[in-house]
Homo-oligomer: A and B are copies of this chain.
Amino acid sequence: MDSDRQHCDTSNEYVHLQNPHLKSMTSDFLYHFNLGTATHDLPAMFGDVKFVVVGGSATRMGKFARYIHQELGLPESEEPQDLADTDRYGMFKAGPVLSVSHGMGMPSMSIMLNELLKLLYHARCSNVVMFRMGTSGGLGLEPGTVVISKAAVDSCFRPRYTQIVLGQEISRPAELDQGLVDELLHVAAQEEGLTAVAGNTMCANGFYEEQGRLDGAFCDYTEQDKLQYLQKGRDAGVRNIEMESLCFAALCRNAGVKAGVVCVTLVDRLRGDQVTTPHDTLKEWELRPQKLLAKFIRSRLGMK
């Protein structure tokens, strides 16, 4: 890593990596993407990236990239291809928009995000905005509603991402950029048939017990215990529950990158656990965060 890139650590425009060890590495191999500084010209491949959108599955992120490619009117010859030569994550580029999958859960997000932030750093990207989009369970919302996260919170409703590093707990703040929240709400208000609300997003380390579901393999609490817990979350400002936002919000913030989280709700957890909505309706709902972010990106690029 060149010492002349020390500006990356001090300017607001660039990705701030907080790791002095990187400077002494002669090359950096991003193992889970199978991309590296010794084997790839990362500035040439990724230097023009201004928007990064991450989501769970590689298939969906490939589709999103092709949708953005169309929305931005990019040439057919530049149809997005998977740039990560691995079966861990998918990575697709449509002009200034990078679309990357992160799998399910914070550890999977954490691996991807560490390597993605290093990639943006090595590629000397500047003024990047990052989004996570996905699906979630809602709290007291009509299913199909889109939640724009004000903060990601843990299972005790605190906006802190806690990691165990060398056997010690460390904790990082997970509030999200409020300017972006307002901008997303503004764009959403112009989208016909879309209901969007701002609220806190609870991030859990599981789908069943950790989200108070009654229908997992294990459950030793009552429906009343569950509802009390979820209502406590709702009272603390939680509007939806998913499994990645806390890590995403905290690590982006730690790298000085503005970040937003946009998830559609598939079920109202105050009314049930299982997702029973017909497949076609779910598919339409899943597209809502995609449409919102496409509109946001077009708006930022001065397209109507």
Please tell me which one of the listed residues B29, B113, B165 contacts residue A276 in the complex, with CB atoms under 8 A apart.
B29
Indicate if A166 sits at the interface (CB-CB under 8 A): yes
Q: Mark A120-159, 1 if CB is under 8 A from B, else 0.
A: 0100000000000000000000000000000000111000
Give Cα A20–Cα B104 distance, bound, in whole angstroms: 27
Indicate if A177 sits at the interface (CB-CB under 8 A): no
Please tell me which one of the listed residues B108, B118, B215 contacts residue A103 in the complex, with CB atoms under 8 A apart.
B108
Give Cα A17–Cα B104 distance, bound, in whole angstroms: 24
B31/A117 in contact, CB under 8 A: no
A209/B163 in contact, CB under 8 A: yes
Indicate if A60 sits at the interface (CB-CB under 8 A): yes
- Give the size of the chain A interface in residues (CB under 8 angstroms): 68
How far, in Å, is A103 (CB) from chain B's closest CB?
Answer: 5
How far, in Å, is A115 (CB) from chain B's closest CB?
Answer: 8
Give Cα A281–Cα B29 distance, bound, in whole angstroms: 17
B255/A21 in contact, CB under 8 A: no
Indicate if A114 sits at the interface (CB-CB under 8 A): yes
B60/A219 in contact, CB under 8 A: no
Quick check: which of A71-79, A190-198, A200-208, A290-298 contacts chain B, the rest being far away?
A200-208
How far, in Å, is A97 (CB) from chain B's closest CB?
Answer: 21
Indicate if A302 sits at the interface (CB-CB under 8 A): no
- Asked whether A225 and B21 contact (CB < 8 A) given A103-B108, A274-B29, the answer is no
Give Cα A22–Cα B152 distance, bound, in whole angstroms: 31
- Residues in chain A within 8 A of chain B (CB atoms): 17-22, 25, 28-29, 31-32, 56-60, 87-88, 103-108, 110-111, 113-115, 117-118, 121, 154-156, 163-167, 204-210, 212, 214-221, 223, 225-226, 229, 232, 243, 251, 254-255, 274-276
Can you name 15 A-B pairs with beta carbons within 8 Å?
A18-B220, A21-B223, A22-B215, A28-B215, A31-B274, A57-B88, A103-B105, A110-B207, A110-B210, A114-B208, A121-B217, A165-B212, A166-B226, A167-B229, A217-B255
